[in-house]
Amino acid sequence: MPRKIQILPDHISQTIAAGEVIERPASVVKELLENAIDAGSSEILLELKEGGLQLIRVVDNGEGIDCEDVPIALQRYATSKIKNLEDLYTIQTLGFRGEALPSIASVSHITITTRIPHSLSGTKVICEGGEIKSISEVGCPVGTEVEVKNIFYNIPVKRRFLKSIRSELRYALNHFVRLSLSHPSVSFKLIHDGRMVHQYLKTDFPLVRIEALLGKEIYDHLKRLELEDGEVRISGFASLPAISKGNGDGIYLYVNRRFVRDRMIYKAITEAYRHVIPAGKFPIVILFLNLPPFTLDVNVHPTKAEVKFKHPEKIYQAVSTAIQMVLEEDPPRLEETIDQADDKELLSSQKVQSSFPFRGPWEPYPLLDSEMEEEGIPIVRDSAESPFIHILGQIRGTYILCEGGGNLIFIDQHAAHERILIEKFKREYETQSTTCERLLVPILIELSLEESFILDSAVEAFQVIGFEIEPVGEKLYAIRSIPSFLSQRDPKAAVREILDELSLFNREGRGTETIHAILVTLACHSAIKGNYILRKEEMEELVENLTPFNTSTTCPHGRPIFFILPLDDLKKQFKRK
């Protein structure tokens, strides 16, 4: 009888896009979890020690490996999932290259204990650096247990390149979340350093799993997404405009249940949300694309993180339509509200003269020549001669138009306010005068699994700034105090934005960089937004507060704060000069 696991013949193994599969402990986690899923398991346990640096153990109750197949499974290109090249185009499993086990085995100490359903005993193989040390018959439950220790023990250079335990744990966690999100019918358990971190019971309802992984708040803002368009079937969930994230981590994209990254699909999603959520924000979307396997090449990327579509334009269109259908049911849109406001108030403000001295960054520009006086334009002459800045009005609720020192000055109100705030926050932090405000009633915040890890790793930095946040339950935290400068402006949203920012840059601990990142996020969070109508006094105050920062011409994110148009240029435009 032919063996179930076979070594692929050369002509196939050379065709499949092989790669450096194992980059870090998380890659091992991904491969082992995928194997467990492919084995048809209904229960999977992942145990890690020191973020996987010391131990990665995956136990499943799947179909197991026959005793004679075990040593074969450890050889390169040995797989039970494809037999010939054509199979690649009907593939239903996550694995198919027969590379993972041998790659893992060659850089670690691996022990596989496994039993198939109808066998009375199981097999245990111990392997070090790719060399099988022992094979024995053992008693064990049906299924497979793979234990990987001392990853990269024989490649010190790679080991040195690994990050801290926390960071490695987060990489691993990402795979855990992605796979458990797409396989709700499998129970997943996660143990880290001997502590049970999470347990998700199998369920028939994907939303139950989503709630467990991403938290109730996100769950409450999701709408079901469903579309069938020829060969393309789309299902999943997309967030309503009321909620968004500061990064794209909330977009989970699956093609035939395989988590993938795909620029084009991201674009279809972000475009659909473009006028619905603020610029720079991202939605939460869990999207399952189902396609006939022959319309797709899953074999284009070393870690199979990308796929290639036969008809990308069809996919773009379908995703775009599916998301739009969800959003169309949920008016009003951000833009509409703004447009109405535009008509009524914007640009209607009259020229107002503010009383503060004009010492802005625009000072060096030349004064107007006496010609202007002859033209009889009092506004211009006033400003040209006096060190005052005049606020002329607001444009589209976003830019403040001023005039002074012979220039027209356009100020981006959000960028300007952000700069003012960050300087204030930094000063308070550096002089240790940041005060915190204790909340009478703590605010409860439910975090996703990933967010809770980020918070745990940056809790000290939060503290230094004035946030007191305490765990009160599984993924549930109580915000007990906030920095006084936050003035109670939606502390929950502020905490979430900070976590998004920290996640984006993979920062942790309480180093200056982390603190700076938190302050920048808080400045952005607390700053006046664009599309927001300001009263005259508010504009005056803003411009006045901006003047000490002559040297900072950009907001903390590097966007310009103002733009200057010399009135002389205006004159030239009108052929007055």
Type of residue at 330: D
Which residues are near Mg ion by CB under 5 A?
Answer: 35, 95, 100
The site partner of 80 among Mg ion, ligand ADP, none (C-beta below 5 to 8 Å per kind) is: ligand ADP
Distance (Å, whole) CA 194 – CA 197: 9
Residue of 281, 555, 559, 536 whose CA lies nearest to 417: 555
Stretch that binds ligand ADP, among 11-19, 61-69, 195-203, 210-218 (CB under 6 A): 61-69
Type of residue at 360: G
The site partner of 523 among ligand ADP, Mg ion, none (C-beta below 5 to 8 Å per kind) is: none
What percent helix, strand, coil does the chain show, rounded to 5? 40, 25, 35
What CA–CA distances, in Å, run from 185 to 13, 218, 290, 328? 33, 21, 18, 31
Number of alpha carbons in the 13 Å side-chain half-sphere of residue 228:
1
The site partner of 501 among ligand ADP, Mg ion, none (C-beta below 5 to 8 Å per kind) is: none
Which one, 39 or 251, has the nearer CB to Mg ion?
A: 39
483 touches ligand ADP by CB under 6 A: no
Locus of tokens 């966690």: 173
299 touches ligand ADP by CB under 6 A: no
Which one, 85 or 439, has the nearer CB to ligand ADP?
A: 85
Number of residues that bind ligand ADP (CB under 6 A): 23
Q: What are phi and psi of 501, to 5 degrees?
A: -65, -45
Closest approach, Cβ 103 to Mg ion, in A, equals 10
Stretch that binds ligand ADP, among 79-87, 258-266, 362-370, 478-486 (CB under 6 A): 79-87
Question: Longest Cα pair distance anywhere in the chain, in angstroms?
Answer: 106
Q: What is the 3-state secondary structure (H, E, C) of 39-87?
A: CCCCEEEEEEEHHHCCEEEEEECCCCCCCCCHHHHCCCCEECCCCCHHH
Which one, 65 or 546, has the nearer CB to ligand ADP?
A: 65
User: In the structure, how many helices (H) and strands (E) does the chain have?
Assistant: 19, 25
Which one, 35 or 452, has the nearer CB to Mg ion?
A: 35
Q: In the sheet that 468-473 helps form, which strands lie side by side, from edge to edge?
A: 436-446, 476-483, 468-473
The site partner of 318 among ligand ADP, Mg ion, none (C-beta below 5 to 8 Å per kind) is: none
Q: Residues 127 to 186: which contact ligand ADP by CB under 6 A?
A: 144
Residues forming a β-bridge with 391:
352, 402
Closest approach, Cβ 329 to Mg ion, in A, equals 41
The site partner of 65 among ligand ADP, Mg ion, none (C-beta below 5 to 8 Å per kind) is: ligand ADP
Which one, 101 or 214, has the nearer CB to ligand ADP?
A: 101
DSSP designation for 88: G
Q: What is the 3-state secondary structure (H, E, C) of 351-406?
A: CEEEEEECCCCCCCCCCCCCHHHHHCCHHHHHHHHCCEEEEEEEECCCEEEEEECC
The site partner of 483 among ligand ADP, Mg ion, none (C-beta below 5 to 8 Å per kind) is: none
Among all residues, whose Cβ is closest to ligand ADP? 95
80 touches ligand ADP by CB under 6 A: yes
Which one, 98 or 236, has the nearer CB to ligand ADP?
A: 98
Q: Any idea what the Cα angle at residue 515 is, between residues 441 and 525, rounded to 5°? A: 60
Distance (Å, whole) CA 318 – CA 379: 55
Distance (Å, whole) CA 146 – CA 349: 71
Q: In the sheet that 195-200 helps form, which strands lie side by side, from edge to edge?
A: 131-138, 122-128, 109-115, 143-149, 55-60, 43-49, 187-192, 195-200
8 touches ligand ADP by CB under 6 A: no
Closest approach, Cβ 28 to Mg ion, in A, equals 11
64 touches ligand ADP by CB under 6 A: yes
Distance (Å, whole) CA 487 – CA 116: 62
60 touches ligand ADP by CB under 6 A: yes
Closest approach, Cβ 100 to ligand ADP, in A, equals 3
Residue of 378, 379, 410 whose CA lies nearest to 394: 410
Which one, 8 or 213, has the nearer CB to ligand ADP?
A: 8
65 touches ligand ADP by CB under 6 A: yes
Distance (Å, whole) CA 375 – CA 381: 10
The site partner of 98 among Mg ion, ligand ADP, none (C-beta below 5 to 8 Å per kind) is: ligand ADP
Residues forming a β-bridge with 478:
444, 470
76 touches ligand ADP by CB under 6 A: no
Which one, 93 or 503, has the nearer CB to ligand ADP?
A: 93
Which one, 98 or 241, has the nearer CB to ligand ADP?
A: 98
99 touches ligand ADP by CB under 6 A: yes
232 touches ligand ADP by CB under 6 A: no
Instruction: With residue 156 as reference, give the H or E element that holds it.
Output: helix 156-160
Q: Please pick, from the candidates 27, 61, 79, 108, the single residue that binds ligand ADP as defined by CB under 6 A.
A: 79
36 touches ligand ADP by CB under 6 A: yes
The site partner of 503 among Mg ion, ligand ADP, none (C-beta below 5 to 8 Å per kind) is: none
Closest approach, Cβ 57 to ligand ADP, in A, equals 12
485 touches ligand ADP by CB under 6 A: no
Which one, 77 or 467, has the nearer CB to Mg ion?
A: 77
Closest approach, Cβ 80 to ligand ADP, in A, equals 3
Closest approach, Cβ 299 to ligand ADP, in A, equals 11
Which one, 144 or 503, has the nearer CB to ligand ADP?
A: 144
* Residues at the interface with ligand ADP (CB under 6 A): 5, 31, 35-36, 39, 60, 62-65, 73, 78-81, 95-101, 144
